[in-house]
Each structure stands twice: as structure tokens, then as C-alpha cells.
Structure 1
Amino acid sequence: MLSTTVESPDLPSGWAAEPKWDGYRAQLARYRGEQVLLRSRQGTDMTSAFPEVRAAAVEQLPEDTGLDGELVVWEAGRLAFERLQQRLVRRGAGAAARAAAEQPVHFVAFDLVRVRGKDLTSWPYARRRAALENLFADSGLTAPFTLCPSTTDPSTVREWLTWTTVGVEDILLKRLDEPYRAGARTWRKYKPRVTEDAIVGAVTGPVTAPRTLLVGRYDRQGRFHFIGRTTTLSRATGAALAPLLTSASPEHPWQGRQFSAGWGSREMLAVHLVRPELVVEVAVDVARDAAGRWRHAVRLHRARPDMPSETVALFDD
């Protein structure tokens, strides 16, 4: 099942909420004996990349049982999405085993679609959730299995919104009476966003008509760090920003640096460096990579030509 973004985390009557973790959506099935399949939402077989999940499924899950959930990696007090990506590129059984020891994953289960040969997809969410909780209790599921929290209490949802620094990416809202319908976009998703200030260091497209902005912040040592890129600007917005931008001199701190087109992409962007002077306010979500950069594209909120770049928060803060 899939979700539609909403603007409010308010929990309607007849709905439950779950935290959405910064990880990979995954479906896990154990068949007879030691047959296990772990696959992505797109259907990619990920079983060999996560041998610790396969081994735990054989040891702990009843035969003919299927779970829906999220793969996550916990590191240094928060979820580390980039470590999860690194797990997928390790090739061969030996490399996967070493990665499992170095960067173990958890499977956060939020739905039970089949148990001991019984298809539960026609059951309403509330009944499936009770069955999932019973499975954890009766089978004594332990790490790497984790039960995703679920609540019908609005105050608990508000508390979850304070967990963003550790990797709670969204809040998912699910109808208590809804069956499991694969591919249906009937869940609701609220994405917490805040606005922060950053400094424009480069643009895609010409400086006279920028298409996106590459933004950064200085650290305490005076080094200018890239921290994110905006979504595509409208023509009107680009035209309004152009007079505020000045092409950079050869001494620009990003001179010679390359920037990828997207997270995990090998395609390099064609960028034009500008003097790192213009401050912009951008709307960001909670996802960060290990280097502290915003992992998703940010949205331009407004330019702040009245604000000196020296007043922007430091990269280390």
C-alpha cells in the first residue's frame, strides 16, 4: 500500500498513526523450510544483501508468513540511510556477511499480510495489527525484528513529531477498517518540514536564469560545505533571483568540485559557481546523510538579501 501527502498530522477518528522511519520499504516472506524472500517495493530481490534478516526469518518466523515493513540501520544515535545504501552495493556472500557484522539492519514490521498459511489481506488494519502484535509476543521475535509503534492517541503523534532528529521521517495515517490493498494509495503521509537559512554557492542553468540552487554553510574553520540543492525554480522565481547573484571568481571554495544529479546518481550536474553571499530560506525535511547534508531536495521559501551570510548557522551546529 502507498500514501498521499497531507498538510496536517491531525489524527481523524477511526484512523491510526505510525512513525515512518528513514529506511527502505521491504516485504519479507518465509515459505517452507529455509526459503526466504526479502524484496523492495519495486520487487527487487534483496535477500542476499541482508543475510542477518534471512537467518532471523528462518529461525524466528513461522512458515508461510509474510510481513510488510522497513529496513533501517542505526548508527551514532540516529538512523543512517546511507549505510543502508552501502549494504545493497556489497557484492558476494562474503562481502554481505562482513557488512552485516559492520552495519547490521533492523526490520521494523508494521503489517502482517500472511501468517502460517492464512491470508490476512482482507482483514481490516485494526485486526491485522492485533495479529502482528500477537505474532511478536507468541513467537518471541527479537532483533533484527522490531515492532513499529501504532497509536490512536493524537498526543502520542505530537510526541513522535519530536523524534525527527533520530530519523522519524514522516507520520503515516491508516484507516482502522481498511483491508490491505497492495498498490492502493490510501494511506496518508505527513512530512514534518522546517525552514532554515543557507548560502547560495552555485546554480544549475545560467546565472541569469537559474533553474536550481546549490546551497551551503561555513564551518568554524571557514570552510564552505555543500548541504543541499533546491527543487526546480519557476521561471519567475529564477528571474527574480538573477539580479541577486554574481558569477564567482576563480577563488570560489567549490572550484573544481563536481556535484551529482541526485542521491546515489552517477550523473554529474553542470553548475555555475556564484559568489557565496546570497542567503536564502529553504523548507527542509528531517533526512540527513552522515556528512550532515540534507538528503532530499529542499524548497526555496524566499531570498534574504537583507541577511549577511555571516549570520547563517554554522555547518557544525
Structure 2
Amino acid sequence: MALTPPVQPMLAEARSEVPPARALPGGLAFEQKPDGYRALLFAGPGRAYLQSRRGADLGAAFIEIAAAGRALSVPLVLDGELVVAQEGRLDFGQLQQRSRRRGAGARLAARETPAHLIVFDVLDTADGPLLDEPYRARRALLETLFADGVLAAPFVLCPATTDRAIADDWLDPAWGAAGIEGVVVKGLSQKYQPGRRGWIKVRARASAEAVVAAVTGRVTAPSTLLLGRYDSHGRLRFIARTVPLSATARREVGGLLYPGDDTHPWEGVRFSAAWGTREAIDHRPVQPDVVVEFAGDTAIDAGRYRHPVRYLRVRDDVSPDQLPPVGA
């Protein structure tokens, strides 16, 4: 094959809604966006290299995917999403745990929480690279590889459609509960351009309520809100941080907040500024008695939103003790 690792994957630009048909060349195709790790697999008889989005080798952690790659009857370069399914939904937390295991631990994890590669593109074959082929041709070949049995479990064909109504259904939060984050929109005539944000990603979003338990910036005019909900044991758990508030929202919320005292459950507690980072948020606890409604995507782990959420409004008709506990 012509392609060798590392290859930068083609990327998607985030949008708030599905674009019109003219947004990308040749009409639109829609694919489900599973909640997992992006991965490219360079594989063929007796060899396999599982590459992360940033170029690292994931094969030692996901040994069953690498083994399936070595067992392929033909050489292929595949692009897809690594996932782990648990109890009827994709489990990003389990996937993270799997990514850190090696050796005997990786072998045990492969048996107990097996991974799959949801494949949405084929970039190279024994006949040559396909980067300059249109999406519709690459997709047709990928479907044939599955139909002919060349690709089978643990490989899974990513659902795709040209029907916008079906794509809109995939944006329903009910799909989010199963681990589908939204849709990726691609042009039927698009080539595969490594490293370019040429696709469009639209996340499913739903609203929920939480109590304002801390802020960044001034309490009377907060920059962002740190939101919490109580668990079944009465502990106030951090579940989300908002994106920066508008000037109107700062006045609206800030006028209702009061600083917390040294008995506040988050006094002295450290929260990371972003998922997977060690940088701490410089936050100020406030009395946890103001409930707000927010909009967030469906990437939620153990009750915590992985991405920033968007403040919608104050819910002065709801008290903190009326909120469902974390995980409910």
C-alpha cells in the first residue's frame, strides 16, 4: 500500500445545525458520530498498526483490533472510531480505561470489555490509495467490503444516509443516551484531505437543570458558571461548566448569587479546566440555591458533561432539592 503511518485524519468543523445541501460538493451524506476515539488502521495479512488521531500507536491497548487487522485477507487502510459498548450504550469511560492498559491487563480487558472499530472510510487498498476518490466511491467500496465478509466483527460499518430526515432523527437526544453524539456531514463528491477540517460535525443537544455552585470571575457578574447536582448520598457533585456568559446573562445570574462560606462543599476543591487536562479552574464557591437551565451535548460520563454547556435561563420555579440526583 502507498499510505504508511502516521497519516493525519480528515477532520470536521463543529456547527450548531445541519447545513443546506449546497454547503458541500455534490450533495450531502450523513454519518452517525459515535462517542469514541478516532483511529486509523493500517492492516493486512500478518501486520497491523492502529494509529490515534495524533499519531500514537494504540495497538498495545486494543489488541483485539490489531489482531483482527493482521487477520485480514487483503491490505487496507481504514478510518473509524474505536468504541466500547456496555449495557446497551457506548461507554467512553470504559474506553479511556482500556486505552491505559498494556500486557496482561490489555488482554484481560479485551475479554471483559471488548472494543470495536466503527469504520466510516477506506483510504488505501492493494490497488492503490483512494484519497482522490469521491466520498461516494469510497463509501460504496466500504459497503462492499462488509457485504463480502472481508470486514466483520470487531469491525462495524458506520450507519450513513443521504436522507436528511434520518439525519435529523440521529440528532434526537435519545440517540445520545446510546452513545451517538450527533452526525458528521460529508460531501458526496469530496476527496479525503488529511488534516483538513472539510467535514461538518453537528452534536445532538438537550436541556437540563442544575444548581449554580461556583463561578469564575466576579460573583456579581460571573464569567462562567460551575454547575452541580446532588447525588443519592447528598453530596454536591460537579457536572458541568458553561461557556462564557453574555453580558445580559452575567447581570441576570449575578444579581441572584451570594458568596459561599467556609462550609461550602466545594471550598478548597480543585476542578480541571478541561477534560483530560491538569489545569485547575480558578473558581469562587457561591451559595448553591440558584437553579439554571442549560443546553449540553450528549457526551456525559458518570453524570458529568465532557464539553462546556450553554446557559439558557434561571429556573426560579425549581429548587435544588427538586432536581433529580446525579445518574438518575
| TM-score w.r.t. length of structure 1 | 0.90
Q: Partners in 1 of 2:234 and 2:184 — Cα distance?
A: 40
Alignment correspondent of 1:139: 149
**CA offset at residue 129 of structure 1?**
0.6
The answer for unaligned runs of 5 or more in structure 1 is none
Aligned equivalent of 1:24, options 27, 34, 37: 37
Deviations 1:16-69 (A, max 9, x none): 1100011111111115x4221111222122122211110000113512x10011
Which of 305, 308, 312 matches 1:297?
Answer: 308
> Which of 252, 273, 280 matches 1:261?
273
Sort the Cα spacing of 1:11 and 1:137 in 2 relative to 1 into closer, same or farther, 3 A.
farther
- Is 1:149 aligned to residue 159 of structure 2? yes
Partner of residue 107 from structure 1, selected from 108, 112, 117: 117
Q: Does 1:73 align with 2:84?
A: yes
Task: Answer whether contact 1:28 1:68 (CA < 8 A) is retained.
Answer: yes
Report the Cα offset of residue 9 of structure 1: 2.8
The within-5 A match list for 1:157-176 is 157-162=167-172, 163-176=175-188
Cα distance in 2 between the residues matched to 1:6 and 1:209: 28
Does the residue aligned with 1:47 lie in a helix, a strand or coil? coil
Where 2:111 maps in the other structure, the secondary structure is: helix
AA at the equivalent of 2:313: R
Cα displacement (A) at 1:126? 0.8
Per-residue deviation, 1:257? 3.2
CA distance in 2, matches of 1:19, 1:316: 25
> Residues 272 and 51 (structure 1 numbering): CA distance in 2 closer, same or farther, change over 3 Å?
same
**Aligned-pair distance for 1:14?**
1.9
CA distance in structure 2 between the aligned counterparts of 1:309 and 1:273, rounded to whole angstroms: 16
Q: After superposition, what is the alpha-carbon deviation per residue over 1:113-172, rounded to whole angstroms, capped at 9, x for unaligned? A: 112242111111111111001111223422210000111122322332231210111211
The match for 2:13 is 4
Task: Give the drift of 1:307.
Answer: 4.2
Report if aligned partners of 1:61, 1:139 keep a CA contact under 8 Å in 2. Answer: no
Find the residue that maps to 1:48 and give its secondary structure.
coil
**What is residue 118 of structure 1 aligned with on the other side?**
128
Q: CA deviation at 1:214?
A: 1.2
The whole-number CA distance in structure 2 between the counterparts of 1:316 and 1:97 is: 30
SS of corresponding position for 1:211 = strand
In 1: Cα distance, 2:20 partner to 2:251 partner: 41
Asked if 2 retains the 8 angstrom alpha-carbon contact of 1:245 and 1:274, the reply is yes
- One-letter code aligned to 1:298: V
Report the 3-state secondary structure (helix = DSSP H, G, I; strand = E; otherwise coil) of the residue aligned with 1:133.
helix
1:312 partner letter = L
**TM-score of the aligned structures, taking structure 2 as reference length:** 0.87
**Matched residue, 1:35:** 47
Structure 2 letter corresponding to 1:157? A
